[in-house]
Amino acid sequence: MSSLPSKRFWQQRYLMLLTLPAVLWMIIFNYIPMYGVIISFKEYTPFQGFLHSPWTGLANFRELFNDPTFTESLANTFKISIAKLVFGFPAPIILSILLNEVVFKRFKRIVQSLTYLPYFVSWVLVVGLMYTLLDPETGVISKMLVSTGIIGSDTMMMGSPHTFLTLVVFTEIWKNIGWNSIIYLAAIAGIDPQLYEAAIVDGAGRFRRIWHITLPSLKPTIIILLILSVGGLINSNFDQMYLMQNSMTQDAANVLSVYSYKTGLVTGRFSYGTAIGLFQSIVAFVLMYIANYSSRKITKESLF
């Protein structure tokens, strides 16, 4: 009995070897730096270092919960993440199903490639483009929106807390929809064609086939990705928020990660910034755990 696991290990030795770099990467970049979170319970000064800085217990966390900016950034984070989840999560599913139904293969490939492309453009460029395209005086997109009557002629898209959320969600979807649809397309490709053939024989139309075959087959994938997204609710995209923040939108764009960066690195309150980060990680973990648990109860699908 006892030799069994080691025998299996030996049989899988090449596979194990292949995962080794990834495991090392995890240890070096995710586990070793974790000891740094102790500074959130200290008043860290570089001179005294991680080990010798004085302990302050929960003082940083106490301040956190009395800090109006923190509360505001927490609310913003959830607001933005939930909007992204509600609109952004179904988008790639819909896209992949639509693509799957396209008969003309060449067209399908072109659309697929075009929707991937934005994923490889960095946020710096995307936000730079947005400033140019949405400039009320010279921006092409602004002009189009004005001429179709969607916005008023003097609307400053990038400088208004009202349009901010829309822009955040829209650009996020635009940028990631193609990339995120890959995994669904792969899942769809794995569906047994016999199921569709049988359904056609039974007289099921297109929508019936999508509803009764494609979607149920995608369910495990959707659930897993949903669980992961719920865990990410408290992490809004730092790059995007930081870049889209300006003096007009700073209230709307102040999310936890930006706030943590600003207090920790820009003003040099390392311990307080770390406390914000630690809080964020714990909440993320709890959220993911809850999502996983409820999914296991309700749908019998779960990540762990």
Partner 1 sequence: MRKKGAQGMAAALLAVTLLAGCSSNNTGNNANGAAEGNAPATPAANASAEPANAGTDTGSTESWKQDTSPFKFTQYFYGNWASAYLWKDQYAMKLATEKTGVTIDRKLATGNDDDYLNTMIASGDLPDTIMLDWNNPAVSKLINNGMVYSMDELMDKYAPELKSMLDPDMVKYHSVNGKLWYLPNLFETADRLTSGVPITPIRPWFFREDIYKAIGSPELKTTDDLMNALKLAKEKFPEISPVGVENFDVAKNSFGGSLSMNFLISSFSPNLLEERIKDDQQIVEYPMRNKGFIDSFRYMNQLYRNGLFDSQLLIYKQEQYEEKLYGAQYAAASQYMSNMYTQYNPKIESTLGADHKYTIIGGLQANGQDPRYAASRLMGWQGFFITKNAKNPERIIRFAEYAWSDEGQLDARYGTEGETYDMVDGLPKFKQEIMDLKLKDNNAYNAQYGFDDSTLLMRAGKLWDDASARDFQEQQPEQFAGAKLLEKYNFDSYSLGMDNLEPDGSSPEGVINGKVKDLWNKTIPKLILSETDADFDNAYNDFISQMDKVGAEKAEKVMYQRHLEDMQKKGVQ
**Where on the chain is the footprint of partner 1 (CB under 8 A)?**
29-30, 33, 36, 44-47, 68-69, 135-137, 156, 158-159, 235, 238, 246-251, 256-257, 260-261, 264-270, 274, 276-278, 280-281
C-beta of 85: minimal distance to partner 1 in Å? 17
Residues 142 and 135: beta-carbon distance below 8 Å? yes
Looking up tokens 């087959």, which residue turns up?
217
Whichever of 9 and 31 has its CB closer to partner 1, that residue is: 31
Whichever of 231 and 264 has its CB closer to partner 1, that residue is: 264
Cα angle, residue 72 at apex, residues 69 and 78 outer, rounded to 5°: 140
Residue 302 CB partners (closer than 8 Å, separation 6+): 223, 227, 292, 293, 295, 296
C-beta of 235: minimal distance to partner 1 in Å? 6
What single-letter amino acid sits at 26? M
- Dihedral sign of CA atoms 43, 77, 219, 101 in order: negative
In whole angstroms, what is the distance from residue 197 CA to residue 201 CA? 6
Q: How many CA atoms lie within 13 A of 25 on its CB side?
A: 5
C-beta of 248: minimal distance to partner 1 in Å? 5
C-beta of 70: minimal distance to partner 1 in Å? 11
Whichever of 93 and 253 has its CB closer to partner 1, that residue is: 253
C-beta of 137: minimal distance to partner 1 in Å? 8
C-beta of 159: minimal distance to partner 1 in Å? 4
- Dihedral sign of CA atoms 266, 270, 271, 276 in order: positive
Torsion of CA 165, 166, 167, 173, to 10 degrees: 110
Identify the bridge partners of residue 55 per DSSP, sorted by sequence position.
42
Token pair belonging to 107 = 């067209």
Whichever of 57 and 203 has its CB closer to partner 1, that residue is: 57
